[in-house]
């Protein structure tokens, strides 16, 4: 009887561990979107590979001559960065678009698995070139591949731990945001008398009702949405977990709102002016808040702002 209970406890323990792993794999994973972020991500992988090899000296590479050891560390780091840069701009970007801009931990894991053969083969070819005494060997290729996948996966799981810690910090920040402890949603909702002016925005765990004229702008923040609203003559930040594209879809039903950038939606009623060059255009809102404008949205935004200002001018001249 005691043996059965012990076996049952072990099974439950294994199930809990597997459940935790599956939940982790289903978590949304932060992805590099801009050119700068993609290059930084690739360089960080290369630097981490170099540091692991140089400081920990795993798999007996320190037994090689100092020349081969140093160049192995540098070469493997550069190769890792090179492979990540190429694939971040091609395969990863394509997959991200195919998945409708949803990227989870298991997607990142599969992506790393896809890069592993490329890095392994290039590492081995570099190693052959480095030491003229070496000749092609399947055994050596598998050995280098084994070393490569070990290092890459160690770094991948370190990345996951770092990501979870950062996520926890964000969750803590969100709990402390001004809206969460300063004004409850219900209090905000009670302020709105005219039901026709109320917008309902839906997030993962909550629906927030806000007055159209109180929303200054909305921005994407990784897996969260930031909404900036005026309440009691003060600008307040609301942070909710959700998908930005769904918020875009909901706000697109109202003519007051315009998506000027892939990460920003503005309320046209708060626009003061548009300034800057075509390469770095910004729209200035009330309180001198500056929001970036993407190149493809600059012309339609200018047309809308001109139309609104002309309309206001014609009303004021009556």
Please name the fold of domain 178-316. Answer: OB fold (Dihydrolipoamide Acetyltransferase, E2P) (2.40.50)
pLDDT at 264 over 90: yes
How many angstroms separate the CA atoms of 293 and 101, rounded?
A: 20
How many angstroms separate the CA atoms of 65 and 72, rounded?
A: 10
How many other CB atoms are there within 10 angstroms of residue 225's CB atom?
24
Mean pLDDT, the chain, integer: 77
How many angstroms separate the CA atoms of 21 and 164, rounded?
A: 13
CA 164 to chain CA centroid, Å, is 13
Where residue 11 falls among pLDDT bands split at 50, 70, 90?
low
State residue 151's pLDDT score: 83
pLDDT at 256 over 60: yes
Could you tell me where the DSSP H helices lie in 99-137? 105-130
In this prediction, residues 206-231 reach a mean pLDDT of 86
Where residue 258 falls among pLDDT bands split at 50, 70, 90?
very high
Q: In what order do the strands lie in the sheet with 289-293?
A: 271-276, 281-285, 289-293
pLDDT at 246 over 80: yes
Domain boundaries of the chain, sorted by first residue = 28-175, 178-316
pLDDT at 224 over 90: no
Burial of 151 (C-beta count, 10 Å sphere; 0-12/13-18/19+): buried
101-154: per-residue pLDDT in tens?
677 777 888 888 888 888 888 988 888 887 666 677 787 788 778 878 888 878
pLDDT at 317 over 50: no
Q: Residue 52 is encoded by which pair of tokens?
A: 């692991």
The contacts of residue 185 (CB under 8 Å, 6+ apart) are: 179, 206, 208, 209
State residue 61's pLDDT score: 66
């Amino acid at each position: 009887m005691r043996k059965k209970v012990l076996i049952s406890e072990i099974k439950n323990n294994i199930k809990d561990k597997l459940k935790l792993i599956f939940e982790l794999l289903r978590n949304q994973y932060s992805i590099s979107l801009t050119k700068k972020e993609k290059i930084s991500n690739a360089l960080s992988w290369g630097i981490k590979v170099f540091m692991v090899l140089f400081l920990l000296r795993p798999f007996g590479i320190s037994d090689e001559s100092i020349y081969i050891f140093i160049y192995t560390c540098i070469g493997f780091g550069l190769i890792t960065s090179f492979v990540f840069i190429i694939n971040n701009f091609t395969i990863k970007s394509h997959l991200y678009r195919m998945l409708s801009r949803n990227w989870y931990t298991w997607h990142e894991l599969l992506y790393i698995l896809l890069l592993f053969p490329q890095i392994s083969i290039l590492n081995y070819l570099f190693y052959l070139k480095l030491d003229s005494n070496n000749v092609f060997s399947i055994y050596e290729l598998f050995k280098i591949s084994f070393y490569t996948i070990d290092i890459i996966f160690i770094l991948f799981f370190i990345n996951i731990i770092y990501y979870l810690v950062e996520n926890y910090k964000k969750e803590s920040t969100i709990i402390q945001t001004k809206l969460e402890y300063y004004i409850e949603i219900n209090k905000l909702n009670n302020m709105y008398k005219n039901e026709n002016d109320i917008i309902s925005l839906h997030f993962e765990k909550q629906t927030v009702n806000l007055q159209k004229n109180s929303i200054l702008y909305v921005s994407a923040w990784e897996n969260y949405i930031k909404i900036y609203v005026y309440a009691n003559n003060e600008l307040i930040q609301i942070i909710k977990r959700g998908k930005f594209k769904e918020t875009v879809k909901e706000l697109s039903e109202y003519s007051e709102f315009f998506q000027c950038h892939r990460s920003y939606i503005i309320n046209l009623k708060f626009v003061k002016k548009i300034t800057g060059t075509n390469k770095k255009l910004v729209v200035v809102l009330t309180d001198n808040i500056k929001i970036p404008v993407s190149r493809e949205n600059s012309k339609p935004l200018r047309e809308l702002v001109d139309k609104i200002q002309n309309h206001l001018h014609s009303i004021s001249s009556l």
